[in-house]
Amino acid sequence: MVSNSLGKSFTVTTFGESHGPVIGLVIDGCPAGLPLAEIDFQEELDNRIPAEPKIVSPRAEKDVAKILSGVFNGYTTGAPIALIVENKDTNSSDYEAIKNTPRPSHSDYPARLRYGGFNDYRGGGRFSGRVTVALIMAGVVAKKLLNKHKIDVLAYTTSIGQLKLDKKLSIPEIHKNRYATSTRCPDFSSSELMEKAIIAAKQAGDSLGGIIECIVINMPAGVGDPLFDSLDADLAKALFCVPAVKGVEFGTGFKSAELKGSENNDAFIIGSGKIVTETENAGGVIGGLSTGLPIVIRVAIKPTPSIAKEQKTVDLSKMQNTVITIKGRHDPCVVPKAVPAIEAVVAITLIDHLIRLGRVPKVL
């Protein structure tokens, strides 16, 4: 399998499958002298699994990061950083029975064709959401470096199914509360309704999707490499690397297609002694370059395709139409688990671009 690396100057290469022995990664390009220990990864790894068991898969492993290289006496050495998390709670028996009946809206069928049937199909293998564990660990290192620039990346749930967060929250509220709820929605009343909707879908043998918003604070202006390595293009590519992502928009996004230029344009003004804009329809990126204003991204997450309802499929061994009832342990909604992964890939992309420009954080 090729194309398992993300980034050019801060490069993250991941490995491992859902039911293999480990999920791991190698980070190349991290400056020497960054304080780093295994405990630094625990909070982010814990954020991946909501505490409410009714809305997540029963497969709730206690992920613990293990550093294999690139760190000595508590600091990065400048050498590649290798990290792994062990898979300790796998149950592959359910997948043997359906290996010839591809699950609807899963990668089973195209992956079988792409790799000639040699791919690891257990739990989705390399295509499973489980691989986001590696991205989250890389995001920890990226965020530590971004913090040296005082850049903050905040992702949170804004909708589950038809339920939407309909109030404006401050950045401090988002920062404080996004991981205080099971749905990762920083408004407690909205989160409670979303949680009930997820439970209802699960009881009906179904699933839900949703939208995650990600805000980047204090990103300097002029970061990006147009045309084909523009900041928004690289961010979109990284976001689509997170399983279940089906749509990405910046600022006003698709709604801008309905506006006139006079409505969509962001007028430049002087505010607090610096250049800002009256509106923020562009979402912090213009022409592939950051504007210095908050970068605002929204990501659409599809409903979990593994549902308990009977679904149509094909028996590939007999070339006959058939039906499938998916067993095993699956999330009725992957949106809460995706929130830290979205934060991670955004952070990885931002620090990669900053290092490309020679803005290597002073870590000592």
**Pairing status of strand 311-315 against strand 268-271:** unpaired
Cα–Cα distance between 59 and 129 in angstroms, integer? 12
DSSP letter at 26 equals E
Q: Which residues of the chain have pLDDT under 70?
A: 1-2, 60, 363-364
3-state helix, strand, coil in the chain (%, to 5): 30, 25, 45
What is the SS3 assignment for 76? strand
**Strand positions, DSSP E, the chain:** 5-6, 11-16, 22-28, 66-69, 71-72, 75-76, 81-86, 152-160, 163-164, 210-217, 245-250, 268-271, 274-277, 285-286, 289-290, 295-301, 311-315, 320-324
**Backbone torsions φ then ψ of 5, nearest 5 degrees:** -120, 145
**How many Å apart are CA 146 and CA 243, to the nearest integer?**
24
Q: Is 261 exposed, middle or buried (0-12, 13-18, 19+ CB in 10 A)?
A: exposed
- What gap in Å lies between CA 70 and CA 146, rounded to an integer? 19
Its pTM stands at 0.96
By residue count, the chain amounts to 364
Pairing outcome for strands 274-277 and 285-286: unpaired
pLDDT at 89: 75
pLDDT tens for each residue of 303-342: 999 999 999 999 999 999 999 988 877 899 999 999 999 9
The string of DSSP letters for 300-361 reads: EEPPPS--SS-EEEEETTTTEEEEE---S---S--HHHHHHHHHHHHHHHHHHHHHHTT---
pLDDT for residue 2:
66
How many C-alpha atoms does 203 have within 13 Å on its Cβ side? 7
- Strands 66-69 and 81-86 come out as antiparallel
Would you tell me how many other CB atoms lie within 10 Å of the CB of residue 89?
Answer: 11
- Let me know: does 76 contact 10? Beta carbons within 8 Å: no
Token pair in block for residue 207 = 């699933």
Residues 6+ apart with CB under 8 A from 353: 223, 224, 225, 231, 234
Say which CATH topology domain 5-356 has.
Chorismate synthase, AroC fold (3.60.150)
- How far lies 339's CA from each of 17, 174, 282, 314, 323, in Å? 20, 13, 22, 33, 33
